Amino acid sequence: MEISEDNILTISGERPNKYKTPENNNMKISKMECQYGKFSRSFSIPETADLDKIQAKMENGSLEVIIPKAEPPKTQRRTIQVQ
């Protein structure tokens, strides 16, 4: 995963062809349900995201990406005396 300068998150990877192995050379496949090969997906990340706290976790073949919102800037209250 990588984030570009213009806040685009790109996730890329590769699914192996588990049927194209030396052990499976004699198999004849007429239809294959799952795809294989390289893939890439890109998403725009909002300006309000905290880029330093993005987390990603892979579990049971599913990728979970957590993009937390950044804390809003704290403003200091001031009292101004009217003269």
Task: Give the pLDDT confidence of 7-51 residue by residue, as tens digits.
Answer: 999 999 888 777 665 565 666 666 665 677 888 999 999 989 998
Q: Collect all residues with Cβ–Cβ distance below 8 Å to 1 and sequence separation of at least 6.
A: 9, 10, 11, 12, 56, 65
In this prediction the pTM is: 0.60
40-62 pLDDT tens trace:
999 999 989 998 999 999 998 78
Closest CA to 47 of 6, 4, 10: 6
Q: Are 49 and 7 in contact (CB under 8 A)?
A: yes
- Domains, the chain, in order of start with CATH, read 2-66 (2.60.40.790)
